[in-house]
Homo-oligomer: A and B are copies of this chain.
Amino acid sequence: MTMQNSGDSLTPEVLTGMVTQSFAGTPDDRLRKVISSLVRHLHGFVRDIEPTLVEWQEGIDFLTAVGQKCDAVRQEFVLLSDVLGISMLVETINDLDAPGATDSTVLGPFHMTESPVRRLGESIDMLGSGIPLLVTGSVRAVTGAPIPYATVDVWQCNEDGFYDVQQPDLQPAGNGRGLFTADSQGRFWFFTVTPSHYPIPTDGPVGKLLSATSRHPFRPGHIHMIAQADGFRELTTHIFVPDSPYLDSDAVFAVKKSLVGEFARATEDESARFEVEIESPVARVELVLSPESEAHPATGLGAVDR
């Protein structure tokens, strides 16, 4: 019998090698690459910090609490990924090969209910509170050509900084959310209220982590959007409210300069076309999609009820 797990020579280095070797028979090439890299980096982390058994147990307890905090309307692991900059890193890496397209940013943890289908011009604010904000935009290709009938999934918090799912008693389901289909020229428009900056949920383990590391939990005000169209790469992004607090220290690192919106006042043309008063607030949005590629098929993330 080969004593593969040989005690006498079981150094940390030997052990890492054994674990890597144990995954060498993984049939799927991609999974084998991912798990080998995971073992290498995770073992590197452990060898670097040399945790005590108590610290290891604390790590297990923390991860368990993160998992157990998740439910139908709360995704604490996405939150953890967000505050560690992992979500933004993944977005940034995937964005590198989409030149000319609108910058993407994080999905965030609040896209777990399907947005109600709404007509162009409808308001996503079902409570009629706050100062109405007109959002007008268009979806186009990097060539400049409009993308007819692209879908634009929109979700945001209200003027107090809460999403519908966080206030089931105060907000009707679907408040602040809308699934729009652009017109034949790729144009879309809807009404809403200006979303507030807000703290990410701090009543779970991720909140404890932020507190223990003296980090604030705030995000600048923003409207989430996912734009989708056949033949194009799905775009997950935000429009940030200009002059919002925390634009320079977003708790989830999601701010890109190009995504800070241009909020303006309605022109005469806009006033006539969208039936709003001249000088009322308007946010103008351009969503530029890159062509679908083999490496980046449509994910369907926007369509799934999560």
Q: Which residues of A contact B (CB under 8 A)?
A: 1-8, 10-12, 15-16, 18-19, 22-23, 25-28, 31-35, 37-39, 41-57, 60, 63-68, 70, 75, 77-78, 81, 84-94, 103, 107, 212-215, 236, 247-250, 253-259, 295-296, 299, 301
Contact = CB atoms under 8 A, between A and B. Distances in A.
Contact of A26 (B16, B85, B214): B214
Given A5-B255, A84-B42, A253-B18, A37 B12 contact: no
A202 to B, nearest CB: 16
Contacts of A10: 92, 256
3 closest residue pairs by CB, A with B: A67-B67, A7-B256, A19-B85
Contacts of A37: 45, 48-49
B90 A51 contact: yes
Nearest to A45: B41
> What is the copy number of this chain in the assembly?
2
Contacts of A213: 22-23, 25-26, 31-32, 35
Contact of A50 (B4, B8, B42, B93): B93
B301 A5 contact: no
Contacts of A12: 89, 92-93
Contact of A5 (B38, B75, B90, B254): B254
A212 B56 contact: no
B64 A49 contact: no
A41 B48 contact: yes
A39 B84 CA distance: 7
B42 A86 contact: yes
Given A60-B81, A68-B67, A255 B16 contact: no
